[in-house]
């Protein structure tokens, strides 16, 4: 499944979201950054709510924020398919994971490139999805870090697995043979004029 991130695009956010929504992507990947957990900040919560309120595709939310529960309490109104948090930005981890689960949303945890896959060990029963970051979070259009793929072995058969960052028609070749359920791709698709052509290229490679 391809989940398309609109962090870096040729067009403005509204137009990019509309294009993703019309495309053959399986999910729309929503990166929310607060300027604290990562140096970059993109939207206020009310802005992202307005941008997404009419989206038809399943929404895959990736929170790169400190204290994500504050945002999640609002975001559940969008009935997203997945909400993914970073544990090191979350003061009340169990409460946050259980809040997501109670709303029948898949519970995701992201693992940064420098973080060990065992950081999730205390929360295995609460987690549905692990998002392996293949770039340092904060910016679209960075280079894929192949080393992170060694984390898949431990995570497979336990969770749905996603990979996020630097995916294009070259780096996707490195995913061959890995049981990855959701592939997030941003700049490769959204800097092009033909989203479906790029999505199809990625789908053909896995």
Catalytic residue chosen out of the listed positions 15, 21, 31, 128: 31
Helices marked H in 103-194: 152-155, 187-190
Q: How many CA atoms lie within 13 A of 195 on its CB side?
A: 25
Helices marked H in the chain: 13-22, 45-52, 69-75, 93-102, 152-155, 187-190, 195-205
Contact between residue 129 and residue 80 where contact means Cβ atoms under 8 Å apart: no
Catalytic residue chosen out of the listed positions 15, 164, 181, 193: 164
Which one of residues 3, 31, 112, 189 is an interface residue with Zn ion (CB under 5 A)?
31
Q: Does 141 bind ligand DX5 (CB under 6 A)?
A: yes
Question: Helix, strand, coil shares of the chain as percentages rounded to 5?
Answer: 40, 20, 40
Q: Which residue is nearest to ligand DX5 (CB)?
A: 186
Least distance from C-beta 91 to ligand DX5, angstroms?
21
The mark string for 62-91 relative to ligand DX5 (x by CB under 6 A, - otherwise) is: x-----------------------------
The residues binding Zn ion (CB under 5 A) are 31, 62, 164
The residues binding ligand DX5 (CB under 6 A) are 5, 7-8, 29, 31, 62, 135, 137-142, 164-167, 184-188
């Amino acid at each position: 499944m391809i989940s398309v991130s609109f962090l870096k695009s040729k067009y403005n956010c509204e137009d990019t979201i509309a294009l993703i929504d019309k495309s053959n992507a399986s999910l729309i990947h929503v990166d929310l950054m607060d300027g604290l957990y990562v140096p970059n900040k993109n939207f206020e919560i009310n802005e992202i709510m307005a941008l997404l309120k009419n989206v038809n595709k399943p929404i895959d939310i990736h929170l790169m924020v400190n204290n994500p529960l504050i945002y999640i309490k609002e975001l559940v109104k969008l009935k997203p398919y997945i909400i993914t948090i970073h544990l090191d930005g979350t003061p009340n981890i169990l409460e946050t994971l259980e809040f997501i689960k109670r709303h029948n949303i898949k519970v995701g945890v992201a693992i940064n490139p420098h973080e060990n896959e065992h950081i999730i060990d205390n929360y295995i029963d609460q987690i549905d999805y692990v998002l392996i970051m293949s770039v340092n979070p904060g910016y679209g259009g960075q280079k894929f870090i192949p080393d992170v793929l060694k984390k898949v072995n431990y995570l497979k058969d336990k969770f749905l697995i996603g990979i996020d960052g630097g995916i294009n028609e070259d780096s996707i070749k490195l995913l061959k043979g890995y049981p990855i359920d959701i592939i997030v791709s941003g700049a490769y698709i959204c800097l092009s004029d033909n989203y479906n052509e790029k999505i199809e290229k990625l789908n053909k490679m896995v």
